[in-house]
Structure 1
Amino acid sequence: MTNIDLSNREARYKHFGSVDPIKGTKPKTKEEMADLQNTKKDFLFDVQSVGINNLTYPVRVGNYQSVGNFELATSLRRDEKGINMSRILESLQTQNDGGILLEFDTLEKVLAVLKERMNQESSELTVESTWFFNKPSPGTELDAVAHADVRYHMEYTDDAVTKTQFGMTASVTTLCPCSKEISEYSAHNQRGFITVLLDIDKNEEVPADYKEIVYRALEINASSQLYPILKRTDEKMVTERAYENPRFVEDLIRLVAYDIHDLPWVKAFEIECRNEESIHQHDAFSRMRFEK
């Protein structure tokens, strides 16, 4: 082996293939650099949405800090080549206070700043996160942290929000009515996942506890609820409640739909229930959409 002095970092880097930087001839200051995105000519079509997605960013949902997965975009005029992507993060940063507060007012401010800084007609965002909340056991009332997935989608045009959606996915227990009916004893049950996507009526006031209201509608209509902590007396209550309230996936979405339909601030909704079947290798699902 050749005796090479690799005692300093520069020597080690060059040993592994690094080379000295070239002097170069292109500008090094922003003012002298070409701005391709701002090129003006006919680029054939307007573009409805261009931006970034799969952006991981800190958020605050309820009383807990969480992590959000964002998609943010603006429109793009026919005579413009592209948008300045860095301004998207700059716009999001204006509302960062230990994380982005996932509430409609805060997200509207992000969209207004984004549209203004991009100098475009419209902006939009979608963010998915996990909402953590305290949920005591049903009998012993031992407090613990439960969770549900939430989704916000908003669109902004001409200095106003034109579309607002709120979604939630909660996990529950479902017990098969057919299994209970035909079996001498017991009945198979499984974990179910209920997802709703709500179109919010901009002319109605959304209550401050809207997340709790939606979560309640999802879980109360299932055979039984899921809890972070269960002692034996709690487990007895949960098991017996499931047996007393058998639900097909079709039953569950209809019962949830009834409760969601009664919310004055919801003008349309989609519901899906998916069961991870315990006696099959496939899942069962039911899905519906309703507009008032």
Structure 2
Amino acid sequence: MTEEKYDLTTRVGRFKHFGSVDPIEGTKPTQKEDMKDLQQTKKDFLFAIDHVGINQVKYPVIIDHMQSVGNFSLSTSLTRDEKGINMSRLIESLELHYHNGIELSFESLSSLTESIRTKMKQNSAQVEVKSTWFYDKASPVTQLTGRAHAQIGYTINKDENNEDRKFYMQSDVTTLCPCSKEISEYSAHNQRGTVTVSLDLYDHKDIPKNHKEIVLEIMEANASSQLYPILKRTDEKKVTERAYENPRFVEDILRLIAYDLVELDWVKGFTLICENKESIHQHDAYSQLTYNKE
């Protein structure tokens, strides 16, 4: 079989040399108005669907006037008599709310969710987004300021009559073992702990503009000590001594955080998790607490 020769000085020739072929003469429509829309097929498809959409959508967001990157999940409900949704409209809705990024606030995300619900002509819609929040934090003694960060997330679920709002934060803290301090002649083992707070919020209560700062302060104040981007020697002395003065099990941290959260009138319920990267074990310590005021 004779190998066909191509002009390798052209891109087309090189492509064909590597196996590319010419397009075929198709028979299906090329104009949108002539194409069949399978998603709009109407008949009994057995079940309604709670959520259908797209996730892992990386998109610019604005947090306190600073740009970051959000990871979005966008979805709607789907009635029993519809085959599917037009998913491109989800990104179209996202683009309509773009102003150098999507502002991560309950007001902005509520507007986006309602826009998706109405554009998709569905009973309900949900927007979920997680991102990194950067904020200024000063060291405890020298007051040297650096950029600290925490993971935050918002979830809005809307139908015609109701709106369900959730807020998520995950941040690291210092924990010092009470048992180690109790049994040792000197010192006590400590480690970095990760605290995760997932809040269910009342839809009829005003949520403070500084809700991120409120939740972060509760998380950090109830740990043995805090983490800082910059520490000089006098700061390090303060931080390590504070940890020694405030020993905490993972169980202690969750119970103390829970007490403070119960007192927030805009919080309906919560799930708390604390995980310690143990410094004297190969395993981690873990605790979880769920509470609902209603």
Q: Aligned partners of 1:23 and 1:30: how far apart in 2?
A: 18
Contact 1:154/1:161 (CA < 8 Å) preserved in 2? no
- Aligned equivalent of 2:183: 182
Q: Aligned partners of 2:113 and 2:156: how far apart in 1?
A: 8
Runs of 4+ off more than 2 Å? 2-5
- Aligned equivalent of 1:283: 284
Residues 186-234 of structure 1 deviation map (CA, whole Å, 9 limit, x = unaligned): 1100000111111111221111101000000000110000000111111
- Aligned equivalent of 2:143: 141
- Aligned equivalent of 1:193: 194
Q: Aligned partners of 2:7 and 2:182: how far apart in 1?
A: 81
Shift of 1:93: 1.2
Contact 2:113/2:125 (CA < 8 Å) preserved in 1? yes
Secondary structure of 1:51's counterpart equals strand
- Aligned equivalent of 1:265: 266
Name the count of aligned residue pairs: 291
- Aligned equivalent of 1:211: 212
Contact 1:173/1:224 (CA < 8 Å) preserved in 2? yes
Residues 28-77 of structure 1 deviation map (CA, whole Å, 9 limit, x = unaligned): 11001110000111111111111111111111122321111111110111
Q: Aligned partners of 2:152 and 2:213: how far apart in 1?
A: 12
Matches within 5 A, 1:42-81: 42-81=44-83
**Does 2:99 match 1:83?**
no
Shift of 1:23: 2.0
Q: Aligned partners of 2:167 and 2:52: how far apart in 1?
A: 22
- Aligned equivalent of 1:114: 116
> Please, what is the CA RMSD of the aligned residues?
1.4
Matches within 5 A, 1:203-242: 203-242=204-243
Q: Aligned partners of 2:66 and 2:144: how far apart in 1?
A: 19
Shift of 1:4: 6.0
Contact 1:108/1:161 (CA < 8 Å) preserved in 2? no
Secondary structure of 1:31's counterpart equals helix
Residues 74-93 of structure 1 deviation map (CA, whole Å, 9 limit, x = unaligned): 01111111000000001111
TM-score (norm 2): 0.96
Moved more, 59-68 or 146-155: 59-68
Shift of 1:118: 0.7
Matches within 5 A, 1:33-44: 33-44=35-46
Secondary structure of 2:46's counterpart equals coil
Contact 1:91/1:113 (CA < 8 Å) preserved in 2? yes
TM-score (norm 1): 0.97
Contact 1:277/1:284 (CA < 8 Å) preserved in 2? yes
Shift of 1:161: 4.2
Secondary structure of 2:145's counterpart equals coil
Secondary structure of 1:268's counterpart equals strand
Consecutive unaligned residues of structure 1, counting only runs of 5 or more, are: none
Shift of 1:5: 4.0
Q: Aligned partners of 1:3 and 1:16: how far apart in 2?
A: 11
Change (3 A) 1:75 1:3: closer
Q: Aligned partners of 1:205 and 1:117: how far apart in 2?
A: 27
Moved more, 28-37 or 4-13: 4-13
- Aligned equivalent of 1:255: 256
- Aligned equivalent of 1:26: 28
**AA of the residue aligned to 1:271:** L
Contact 1:195/1:272 (CA < 8 Å) preserved in 2? yes
Q: Aligned partners of 2:66 and 2:162: how far apart in 1?
A: 27
- Aligned equivalent of 2:127: 125
Shift of 1:162: 2.4
Q: Aligned partners of 1:210 and 1:70: how far apart in 2?
A: 21
Secondary structure of 1:75's counterpart equals strand
Secondary structure of 1:144's counterpart equals strand
Q: Aligned partners of 1:63 and 1:172: how far apart in 2?
A: 26
Contact 1:74/1:123 (CA < 8 Å) preserved in 2? yes
